[in-house]
């Protein structure tokens, strides 16, 4: 999976929340409504991940004139962002821009490698730095939504689980659903942020002649297929919210109706 993971991009889940989500799914069992609801997102995610792996493998074999780090440095300096540091980070697919510390971190497979996949990913992350510098509105909104999304991602399923299992705590069900709505909002706002970062990356790589028009197909393949993974994640969140409303919206489990 290639996920250009910008810091704070995805709401985090605590171990307690993951336990609650697991128990909730066990409680749901083989509910046909659940699988019908999330099936489109699951199929789209499966297809998108396959495209990402294929396009990344192909682009990694096409040489580039600069390494990922050098390409990002060139794009940032050209925009007057010399103060933004670029650092290597351990692991794979750990690339991200840290808006708090103004640091762009590139993974081992991107930082020092000179291929189309590396420069494409590095330019995408540089695109987030440009968004931050220019106060790109959706990014500002997304950053403001992070605390609510983190809270919703770490507590919503737990609240729904307890509310469904304990009659005296059913008030937690609508609260949990509302909390999960923050995750959906975050994902919806995140889409234009990711699309814009990729658009900036492709435009800048061409303008600065780091990538030729002929080789842009390889960069576009990686970035466009990655964009579908963001769409799949957003669709999954929306459909999960819809399921929770239909399944528990009345304040209790469907078995009680």
Are the CB atoms for 121 and 202 separated by under 8 Å? no
The tokens for 26 are 């066990």
Are the CB atoms for 212 and 158 separated by under 8 Å? no
Q: What is the rounded CA–CA span in Å between residue 107 and residue 116? A: 15
pLDDT score, position 11: 53
Q: What is the rounded CA–CA span in Å between residue 163 and residue 169? A: 5
pLDDT score, position 166: 86
Nearest to 68 by CA among 4, 131, 132, 1: 4
Average pLDDT over residues 125-136: 96
pTM: 0.82
Assess whether pLDDT exceeds 70 at residue 7. Answer: no
Catalytic positions, written as ranges:
125
Assess whether pLDDT exceeds 50 at residue 4. Answer: no
Express as a percent the part of the chain with pLDDT over 90: 67
Assess whether pLDDT exceeds 90 at residue 77. Answer: yes
User: Given the DSSP bridges, would you call strands 103-107 and 85-89 parallel, antiparallel or unpaired?
Assistant: parallel
**Residues whose CB is less than 8 angstroms from the CB of residue 24 and which lie 6 or more positions away in sequence, other chains included:** 157, 160, 161, 164
59-70 tens-digit pLDDT: 999 999 999 999
198-237 tens-digit pLDDT: 999 999 999 999 999 999 999 999 999 999 999 999 999 9
Assess whether pLDDT exceeds 90 at residue 158. Answer: no
Assess whether pLDDT exceeds 50 at residue 257. Answer: no
């Amino acid at each position: 999976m290639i996920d250009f993971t910008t810091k704070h991009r995805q709401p985090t889940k605590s171990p307690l929340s993951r336990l609650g989500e697991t128990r909730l799914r066990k409680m749901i069992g083989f509910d046909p409504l659940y699988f019908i609801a999330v099936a489109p997102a699951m199929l789209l995610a499966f297809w998108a991940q396959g495209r990402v792996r294929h396009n990344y493998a192909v682009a990694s074999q096409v040489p580039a004139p600069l390494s990922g780090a050098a390409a990002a440095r060139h794009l940032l300096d050209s925009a007057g962002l010399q103060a933004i540091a670029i650092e290597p980070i351990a692991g794979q697919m750990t690339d991200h821009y840290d808006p708090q510390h103004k640091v762009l971190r590139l993974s081992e497979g991107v930082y020092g490698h000179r291929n189309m996949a590396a420069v494409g990913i590095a330019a995408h992350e540089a695109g987030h730095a440009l968004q931050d510098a220019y106060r790109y509105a959706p990014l500002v909104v997304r950053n403001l939504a992070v605390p609510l999304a983190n809270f919703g991602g770490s507590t919503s399923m737990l609240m729904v689980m307890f509310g469904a299992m304990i009659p005296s705590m059913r008030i937690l069900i609508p609260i949990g659903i509302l909390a999960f709505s923050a995750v959906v909002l975050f994902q919806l706002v995140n889409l234009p942020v990711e699309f814009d970062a990729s658009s900036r990356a492709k435009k800048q790589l061409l303008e600065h002649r780091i990538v030729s028009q002929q080789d842009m197909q390889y960069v576009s393949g990686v970035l466009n297929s990655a964009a579908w993974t963001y769409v799949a994640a957003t669709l999954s969140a929306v459909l999960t919210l819809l399921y929770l409303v239909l399944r528990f919206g009345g304040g209790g489990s469907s078995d009680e109706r």
